[in-house]
Amino acid sequence: MCTRIKTTMACGHTFTNYATTCGMATNSRPCTPNVKFQHLNDTCAACDPAARRRRVRQDYESRHAELMAEYMAAKQTGDGAAMARVELLVMENSMTTMERNFEIGMHCQEEDVMWWEMI
């Protein structure tokens, strides 16, 4: 019999880990797994504020590098209109990043992760 652990996170998301497999999945009769439930007093990576802030920063830096390359190319050719357009895009990128960070919330002290006993 397969054993799986179903973990519910504080954010409401769940994940399932197969601790052992019985090999019956290849047979015509499906296996009925033994399921253990547990709760993790922490958020998943998709919901974790620190991870979300890192992704926002990475997105900002990547877009900023692209825009700077465009700006330098426009400057080399003397295209003032393109330079002005890119300057607006740089400001828009900055504003979007600030809005995304505001949605995530202020950086605060993270609590320790507490595992509950398996049920």
The structure's pTM equals 0.61
Q: Where are the domains of the chain?
A: 3-40, 49-104
**Contact assessment for residue 72 and residue 66, using Cβ atoms and an 8 Å cutoff:** no
Express each pLDDT in 31-71 by its tens digit: 777 888 888 888 888 888 888 999 999 999 999 999 999 99
CA distance 12 to 18: 20
Q: Give the residue, 24 or 58, on which the prediction is more confident.
A: 58
Owner of token pair 């295209």: 79
